[in-house]
Amino acid sequence: MAGLELLSDQGYRLDGRKATELRKVQARMGVFAQADGSAYLEQGNTKALAVVYGPHEIRGARSRIRHDRAVINCQYSMATFSTAERKRRPHGDRKSTEMSLHLKQTFEAAVMTQLYPRSQIDIYVKILQSDGGNYSVCVNAATLAVIDAGIPMRDYVCACTVGFVDETPLADLCYAEESGGVSSLALALLPRGGQIALLQMDARLHQDHLESLIEAAMTACKGVSKVLDEVVDVTLETGSSVSKLYVTTDNNMGLLSDPNRRRALISLLTRLNAPICVVCYMAGVAWFMGLAFEPFTLRTYMSENAMGSTMVEERFPAGERALATGREFSAHKKKAGGMPVDWLVKTMQARGLEVFAQRFSRTLPFPDENKERYLVKGTNVYGILRAPRAPRTEALVLSAPCTPGDNNNQAVGLLLGLAQYFRNQVYWAKDIIFLVNEHDLIGMQAWLEGYHHTNTTGMDWSPLQGRGGSIQAALSLELSSDVITSLDLVLEGLNGQLPNLDLANLFYAFCQKIGVLCTIQGKLQRNDWDSVSGYSHSVQTMMLMVMKQASGRPWGDHGLFLRYHIEAATIKGINSFRQYKTDTTTIGRLLEGMYRKLNNLLERLHQSYFFYLMPSLSHFVSIGYYMPAFGLLAVILLLRALDLWVQLATPPPRTEDGVADTEQMSSPGVLSVLTPLVISHLTGVALYMLPIGFQEVAVEHFPVSETEAVVLTAIAIYTAGLALPHNTHRLLSGEGTEQGWKVLKLVAVLYLAVLLGCTALINFSLGFILALTLVPVAAFVTPHVPKVLSAFILVILSPACTLLFSVFFFQELQEMPVSFIDGWMLFLSVISQGILDHSLYGSLVYPLIALLVYPCWLLFWNILFWK
């Protein structure tokens, strides 16, 4: 009987609507200026008013605070005049409490509460006139109020009540239909995603009809969402300030927290991805090249007060005597056939030093190219001048390597001359250690390990019998001949480490005061910075520093001190500029002045920069200036990753018959991504371990030396890695999918971004050079580009070819160009030296290239030949 009363034979209901027809909806937003958001909504004869306050600080008990999201407080009430029967309790009864709970659950599913941690959002809804569907009308009104308050939501929340009469679903029930015994269902929906926020049913219903009833409710909710959307659009068109979420930049909504703006931004970035990447690459290169322009650099200055307030009066009158001592040292070295240990010990003791000797030996992984030796033995001799005016807790080091032939004999003579002069002074507050080390870096490594009680390289050395205080700074002296025209400052240490900039500033300040011609990277400073030739000179100087730092090898004996956080540099006396001449006395004065300034330090050098580039000795580029150049290149990788992510998240296009492309729909298997990763890294492990391990086998079967065997094995493994795509496809069953190479490239791009970022933080120069070559590869390689041309470009931009080009470029910067054959031999020598530096001193460049950079490049090679 109820069905006949509520639905006529012609399909019309009591109020004249059809079964699926909604009641008339009218709404306004911003009806209360005092509230953060408000809305008034009429749905048929049911009228509701919603008000929103917040987000604001939580009021009441502190236990309600949620540290990861906002707390939503909902309160439902009915006006006393909302029904024919006056209500004594408009709110607080059981029905109102239950309705408040339902509203809270609904909006907790829709509001982005995670954007407002430790805060509260209050939603108050009052029914002014009730004619059925109270919950639905409250949800719809509250949705408009939340939008008016500028609170971000995942989607509109639309609600509707449906009933089932005579096998027919009825949408948007009125009071007469609800009270007529109809099986009703209330549903709240997020229409865009089709997510159900709340589903409530108060009466029995056969399960066969449930699906059709829910479908009718969802259709009705989508109809309500269109009406609400029109209300918001009308509010915007009228220029009202109420709809803060959609109109302007509200304080509560950022560019990325607003879903509409975020989608627009992502769409813009994906549409203009390639042009933006090209612009970023060109801007990064231009930024880096502009660093050498003098107006963009900073002038060097002394940061340490103890070193820069006043200059000392430097003295050293024994220059000729130092030269004579150097010639005497040379004669004893020839007589002994190496390091004259006994003579050095007696000479240092005669100058009043505490003298000690350290013997060491080191087995090389393969014979070094220059001396063809497996075992290196030697002796370090050092003397300690104890500080007469301090507790001897700190020390300074002056070293001079004992090299084969006639090289650096003058430096040893000057070192002994300074030791005798320093012994007669009483102002020293630090111990001064005078060290003559044999076999250059190997001897220095043995002495430093013995001094600090460490053994990180497996070298055999005798324990040191005497020690000074904690070493604060060190200088290594190298003089090429009796005639010195200029002094060159060498800063690059192991793995690209640099000393504190104040050490370079101190050297430059004394050179300027005494009038000594000084250079960096072997190049004089020019004053015509505004000319093309002057700018080119600065670029060459800066690029030489970048190339040396990127190599990761220590470019002087000082380079190993930096590992122990000791600020050190090498001063080289060179004979290049014939119109100038600097005598030994002047060099001794400069060193004496520097050590007196270092003697004044109360703590380690720390005030100035540790990360910098120097286009000249008077100007430098700090980390804050050169890192944006790398950042512009790294942004390209992030943009490409975003583009790939959007492509993977976008549904595939459908054909004319409405069927989606099954090839693009099929998700890639784990093996399609994991297999290239595993094979490429196994190839990298082989490149790292096998060259040294297989040298004996290679020498036994091929007419090559041990060094050649190591280098040629490395090149063979590197070349064999080009067969990675073939090996990958043999392991995989079937062909790769379109989604598969996109997932693999997304992983490879993010992998490369992290790798280059970490490398640039440790060694900017190496990270920047790798970014210059690998970023274009990562950005534009796909399986759909021309194979032959793309393969050629990938090989040209591979790590090995980058090293080969760097060798030729470095020689050009040094103004010593070489032929292709000579350059190729230098390339092979650089490979062997890189492997040797890693084994002897712990250089990280070779393992970084072999274990990480090369496997990452192989992933892009695999993408190019994806099947």
d(CA 718, CA 854): 8
Q: Which two tokens stand for residue 70?
A: 């906002």
Q: Does 213 share its domain with 358? A: no
562 residue type, one letter: L
Least Cα distance to 100 among 77, 70, 130 occurs for 77
Residue with tokens 């050395």: 461
d(CA 582, CA 400): 19
Least Cα distance to 503 among 314, 310, 303, 315 occurs for 303
Q: Which two tokens stand for residue 323?
A: 């030269």
Backbone angles phi, psi at 411, to 5 degrees: -65, -40
Q: Does 19 share its domain with 38? A: yes
Q: Does 675 share its domain with 579? A: no
Q: How many CA atoms lie within 13 A of 730 on its CB side?
A: 6
Q: How much is the pLDDT for 687?
A: 93
How many independent structural domains does the chain possess?
A: 3
The H or E element spanning position 831 is helix 820-841
Q: Is 290 inside a domain boundary? A: no
Q: Does 184 share its domain with 210? A: yes
8 A C-beta contact, residue 402 and residue 447: no
Q: Does 161 share its domain with 188? A: yes
Q: Is 724 inside a domain boundary? A: yes
Least Cα distance to 595 among 399, 853, 746, 743 occurs for 399
Q: What is the DSSP letter of 193?
A: T
Identify the segments of the chain with pLDDT beneath 70: 1-5, 87-92, 239-262, 308-311, 368-373, 577-579, 651-669, 725-736, 867
Q: Is 325 inside a domain boundary? A: yes
Domain that holds residue 48: 2-259
8 A C-beta contact, residue 227 and residue 238: no
Q: Is 25 inside a domain boundary? A: yes
Q: How much is the pLDDT for 253?
A: 43
Q: Is 267 exposed, middle or buried (0-12, 13-18, 19+ CB in 10 A)?
A: exposed
Q: Does 601 share its domain with 688? A: no
CATH of residue 463: 3.40.630.10
Q: Is 318 inside a domain boundary? A: yes
d(CA 777, CA 826): 26
Q: Is 276 inside a domain boundary? A: no
Sequence-separated (6 or more) residues with CB below 8 Å from residue 457:
362, 445, 449, 839, 840, 841, 842
- Residue 395 φ/ψ region, left for φ over 0, alpha for ψ in the -120 to 50 degree band, beta for the rest: beta
Sequence-separated (6 or more) residues with CB below 8 Å from residue 453:
none
Could you give the percent of the chain with pLDDT greater than 70?
90
Q: Does 613 share its domain with 633? A: no
Sequence-ordered strand ranges (E) for 373-443: 375-385, 394-402, 431-438
Q: How much is the pLDDT for 72?
A: 94
8 A C-beta contact, residue 685 and residue 851: yes
Q: For Cα atoms 522, 525, 527, give the angle at the middle one, nearest 5 degrees.
A: 160
Q: Which two tokens stand for residue 673?
A: 């991504």
Q: Does 379 share its domain with 441? A: yes
Q: Is 537 inside a domain boundary? A: no
Q: How much is the pLDDT for 12?
A: 85
Q: Does 242 share its domain with 317? A: no
Q: Does 596 share its domain with 680? A: no
d(CA 779, CA 800): 20
Please list the alpha-helical segments (H only) found in 293-436: 305-308, 319-336, 341-350, 409-423
The H or E element spanning position 476 is strand 470-479
The H or E element spanning position 550 is helix 532-551
Residue with tokens 């005598």: 583
Q: Is 278 inside a domain boundary? A: no
Count of CB atoms within 10 A of residue 371's CB? Answer: 10
Q: How much is the pLDDT for 259?
A: 58
Q: How much is the pLDDT for 140?
A: 95
Q: How much is the pLDDT for 246?
A: 34
Backbone angles phi, psi at 173, to 5 degrees: -70, 145
- Residue 352 φ/ψ region, left for φ over 0, alpha for ψ in the -120 to 50 degree band, beta for the rest: left
Backbone angles phi, psi at 540, to 5 degrees: -65, -45
Q: Which two tokens stand for residue 279?
A: 């612009």
Backbone angles phi, psi at 335, to 5 degrees: -70, -40
Sequence-separated (6 or more) residues with CB below 8 Å from residue 310:
none
Helix (H, G, I), strand (E, B) or coil at 615: strand
Q: Does 411 share its domain with 438? A: yes
Q: How much is the pLDDT for 636?
A: 94
What is the strand order of the sheet 183-190 is part of? 168-171, 158-165, 183-190, 195-201
254 residue type, one letter: G
The H or E element spanning position 486 is strand 486-490
d(CA 416, CA 420): 6
8 A C-beta contact, residue 615 and residue 627: no
Q: What is the DSSP letter of 151?
A: -
CATH of residue 127: 3.30.230.70
Q: Does residue 295 have a cis peptide bond before it, meaning omega lies within 30 degrees of 0? A: no
- CA 130 to chain CA centroid, nearest Å: 60
Q: Which two tokens stand for residue 501?
A: 């900039």
**Cβ density class 810-832: b for 16+ within 10 Å, e for less:** beebeeeeeeeeebeebbbebbb
Q: Does 573 share its domain with 635? A: no
